[in-house]
Amino acid sequence: MKFFLDTANLEEIRQAASLGVLDGVTTNPSLVAKEGAEFEKRIYDICEIVQGPVSAEVVSTDTEGMIAEAHKLKNIHRWVVVKLPTIPDGLKAAKRLLAEGTKVNMTLCFSASQALLVGKLGATYVSPFVGRLDDISHVGMDLIRDIVTIYRNYSFTTQVLAASLRHPLHVVDAAKAGAHVATMPYKVIEQLIKHPLTDKGLAQFLKDWEKAQQSLVRA
């Protein structure tokens, strides 16, 4: 499973990269707006740190506008993946962009039927939003399971990028479901590592070791 960080914050990306588990980054207009940075410069800086796929989203809602934006985004850095909304114009733009060799990530996917179309198209990634479905009392992870099943049935090459993951169990469940990629906030990566028994056990090991060293010195 690949790990992407869902952020536009450079420090978080540096921290995750230093752990050695970071494969890429996803951004969206809300995440970039939160940073208050110049968009193209921020995407370039992210690409330079991660040296892996970095999703940058268009804000046009018509096919021609999306394609024009996609061409600009692609020119920022070789690692840019163009993120498009899963709407009819997004599908049309994706078809043309894929044909010219541009990698696309179809975002805001909330149903298996949407994902089926994305898979047929051969998009690079589909991004089903787990947490936002949970927010409205739907089991978001069921969508990941359904999409993985459908894509396996037809050997679709589109990678399932589980998005809107809010806590460590979301990541574990997405891994069990066979999602190719999990994108998560930095806080969730920290939560994945943390275990109170690890901290307690380590403290005890170090205490016992210190005691033994002191006994040796005394002897």
| CA atoms in the 13 A half-sphere facing the CB of 50 | 34
| Beta-bridge partners for 55 | 26, 81
Choices 85-93, 149-157, 162-170, 196-204; region in contact with ligand G3P by CB under 6 A: 162-170
* 148 versus 207: smaller Cβ distance to ligand G3P: 148
Provide the angle, in degrees to the nearest 10, between the axes of the packed helices 140-153 and 168-177.
20
**Cβ at position 62, least distance to ligand G3P in Å:** 22
**Cβ at position 179, least distance to ligand G3P in Å:** 13
Choices 59-67, 115-123, 127-135, 206-214; region in contact with ligand G3P by CB under 6 A: 127-135
DSSP 3-state of 166:
coil
Asked if 83 is an active-site residue, the reply is yes
* 52 versus 131: smaller Cβ distance to ligand G3P: 131
Q: Beta strand pairing status for 181-184 and 24-26? A: unpaired
**In whole angstroms, what separates CA 124 from the centre of its chain?**
13
Q: Which among 83, 92, 176, 211 is annotated as catalytic?
A: 83
Q: 2, 132, 138, 167: which one contacts ligand G3P (CB under 6 A)? A: 132
In 100-195, which ranges are continuous DSSP H helix? Answer: 112-121, 130-135, 140-153, 168-177, 186-193
**Cβ at position 183, least distance to ligand G3P in Å:** 6
d(CA 159, CA 49): 23
Site string for ligand G3P, 10-29 (x = CB under 6 A): ----------------x-x-
Q: In which element (H, E) is residue 32 found?
A: helix 29-35
Q: Is 161 in the site for ligand G3P (CB under 6 A)?
A: no
Active site residues: 83
Residues lying near ligand G3P in the complex (CB under 6 A)? 6, 26, 28, 129, 131-132, 163-164, 166, 183
